[in-house]
Amino acid sequence: MEESNLSNIESTRRWTVLENPEAVAEMACKRILAAAVSAIASSGRFKLVLAGGSTPEAVYKRLSKSHADWRCWDFYFGDERCLPADDAERNSVKAVSAWLSHIDIKASQIKVMPAEMGAEVAAQRYDAVIAPVLPFDLVLLGVGEDGHTASLFPGHEHKQAERVHAVYQSPKPPLERVSLSSLSLSCTSQVLVLATGEGKAEAIRLWREGHNVPVSTITAIDRFEVLLDAAAACRSDLNLLPGENGEGKQSC
Ligand code: 6PG
């Protein structure tokens, strides 16, 4: 990618620092609901990619109590752990438990990655699910302490042109996973990345200083925002959103 394009990408990345994880979850909920209204108004559907891990749970719980045109939403997953379909540690089970089982939708709106079939088969099957629907409207992502996102981990090589990767030897259990590729995660109108807690501060610092951590490979067509709390921002040159306790720079 040419230098100018890279600097353009950086310039379109918005970093919003909020006081605490609750404020991040509240803002993420607002951003997702607003993106849905816009997408449904223009296309009739809202194609949302859900994040895994624990950070989004507070967002999903807020959304479970929100009002939206849920029947127009389609739920995809950025990655999935190769565990039995009903395993509590599955990203799909977490999202259904915190949110999707509490709203009025049809099961067919939830596009679960069949990761219980093993990484290779699941990746092939999910490629056929997402290929016809790209681009997404919003991709929600978390960040790992090593700068990974979805199941794109540092040092892991993948075929560039793949839309969905089979992942082995994951440094974050379980070893075997399925992940949308950087290409697919970037094929979206909006990206919203969530990072809370001091454990993410080093990954955020590396990302902002231009190191090639996996999350840094993700771009968006229209809008890319990182929502983080003061703890995750504390090693970076970022200030609290004005009006959020107005204290400006925070320290770890
Ligand atoms: C997973 C996620 C993973 C997660 C980050 C952050 O399967 O765990 O896809 O990429 O988003 O590891 O996890 P936390 O939100 O739990 O810190």
What Cα–Cα distance (Å) separates residue 129 from each residue in 123, 135, 189, 214? 10, 12, 18, 24
Atom of ligand 1 nearest to the CA of 149: 10
Average pLDDT, 10 consecutive residues per value, the chain (252 residues)? 53 90 98 98 98 98 98 99 98 98 98 98 98 98 98 95 98 98 98 98 97 98 98 92 50 70
Pocket test for ligand 1, best of 24, 145, 172 (most atoms within 8 A of CB): 172
- How many whole angstroms from 199 Cα to the centroid of ligand 1? 12
By C-alpha distance, which of 179, 176, 102 is closest to 142? 179
Query: Is residue 125 lining ligand 1, measured as CB closer than 6 Å?
Result: no
For the whole model, what pTM was predicted? 0.94
Atom of ligand 1 nearest to the CA of 200: 17
A 10 A CB-CB count for 33 gives: 16
d(CA 138, CA 192): 7
Dump pLDDT digits (tens) for 83-129.
Answer: 999 999 999 999 999 999 999 999 999 999 999 999 999 999 999 99
Pocket test for ligand 1, best of 113, 143, 153 (most atoms within 8 A of CB): 143
- How many whole angstroms from 229 Cα to the centroid of ligand 1? 16
- How many whole angstroms from 91 Cα to the centroid of ligand 1? 9
d(CA 242, CA 244): 5
